[in-house]
């Protein structure tokens, strides 16, 4: 599947600043073979899985009931389970692989979740996950703006404000995530950074310009009311370039492919 198709299937459903990030991550998954059964940790409303994978994943797991109601309408999973990630209600070795897409950064005591994923995935299975990394907060445009004016106190306040909006708890270096995965019995075979500074700025400002989408979501249950190319031409132009060469050492997010050891 080409980049235009990948971007469009997210852009028609999501505010553009979220769509461009999800499209980049979707592109990465196209080259990964996941052995079944597949577990999705923190499946949310199921939008990502419904478009990123050719067939439904086996189990979508999330602790919150509200997004799970929407998950059922997407048909992204054969089974939807309401449970916390550190209490996966399946026996050891039940899954051939697991994914967690931009979820682990929101979870307190995330080590417990990764440890239980290690229990649930059988030896040889993959755990594929991605998270914002340690660069995310410092590279925000607002933070850099205030710091550049010598107003570092305001820069820190802005960082905390944006972090609170994004509900980030764990913004760590890749080495920290590798250590967590290894403690759970995984070996990280590949990892790379993605989403450069310019993309982060587009995402950051998109939170402001994306307010109309929030209203349509509240009123009509949809982020995008008119799902036509002409209506999304500007967001398309803002987003499309970030799918060409998404991997970059200076990226503010990191993608991991880990394998469960015997």
- Locate the domains of the chain by residue range: 3-135+168-260, 136-167
CA torsion 22→25→27→28, rounded to 10°? Answer: -170
Under the banding of pLDDT at 50, 70 and 90, the label for residue 231 is low
CA torsion 222→83→161→22, rounded to 10°? Answer: -50
Domain 3-135+168-260 is found in CATH 3.40.50.970: no
pLDDT value, residue 216: 63
* Rounded average pLDDT over 170-185: 98
Under the banding of pLDDT at 50, 70 and 90, the label for residue 96 is very high
pLDDT value, residue 85: 96
**DSSP 3-state of 196:** coil
pLDDT value, residue 11: 84
Under the banding of pLDDT at 50, 70 and 90, the label for residue 36 is very high
Q: DSSP secondary structure string, 214-244?
A: HHHHHHHS-S-S---TGGGHHHHHHHHGGGT
* Rounded average pLDDT over 100-129: 97
* Rounded average pLDDT over 206-214: 62
Inform me whether the pLDDT recorded for 151 exceeds 70: yes
pLDDT value, residue 130: 98
Calculate the alpha carbon distances from 56 to 35, 70, 194, 215 in Å: 13, 15, 26, 30
* Rounded average pLDDT over 149-168: 91
């Amino acid at each position: 599947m080409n980049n235009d198709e990948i971007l469009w299937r997210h852009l028609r459903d999501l505010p553009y600043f979220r769509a461009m990030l999800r499209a980049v991550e979707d592109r990465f998954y196209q080259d990964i073979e996941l052995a079944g059964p597949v577990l999705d940790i923190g499946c949310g409303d199921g939008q990502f899985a419904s478009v990123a994978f050719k067939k439904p994943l086996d189990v979508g797991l999330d602790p919150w009931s509200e997004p799970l109601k929407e998950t059922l309408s997407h048909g992204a999973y054969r089974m939807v389970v309401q449970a916390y990630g550190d209490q996966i209600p399946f026996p050891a070795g039940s899954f051939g692989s697991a994914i967690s897409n931009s979820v682990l950064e929101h979870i307190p005591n995330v080590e417990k979740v990764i440890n239980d994923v290690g229990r649930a995935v059988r030896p040889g299975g993959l755990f594929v996950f991605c998270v914002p990394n340690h660069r995310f907060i410092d590279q925000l445009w607002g933070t850099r703006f205030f710091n550049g004016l010598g107003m570092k106190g305001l820069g820190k306040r802005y960082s905390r404000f944006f972090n609170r909006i994004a509900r980030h708890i764990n913004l760590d270096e890749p080495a920290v995530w590798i250590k967590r995965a290894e403690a759970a019995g995984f070996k990280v075979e590949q990892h790379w950074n993605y989403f450069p500074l310019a993309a982060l700025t587009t995402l950051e400002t998109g939170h402001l310009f994306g307010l109309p989408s929030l209203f349509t979501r509240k009123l009509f249950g949809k982020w995008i009311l008119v799902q036509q190319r002409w209506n999304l031409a500007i967001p398309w132009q803002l987003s499309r370039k970030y799918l060409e060469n998404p991997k970059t050492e200076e990226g503010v997010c990191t993608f991991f492919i880990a394998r469960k050891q015997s």
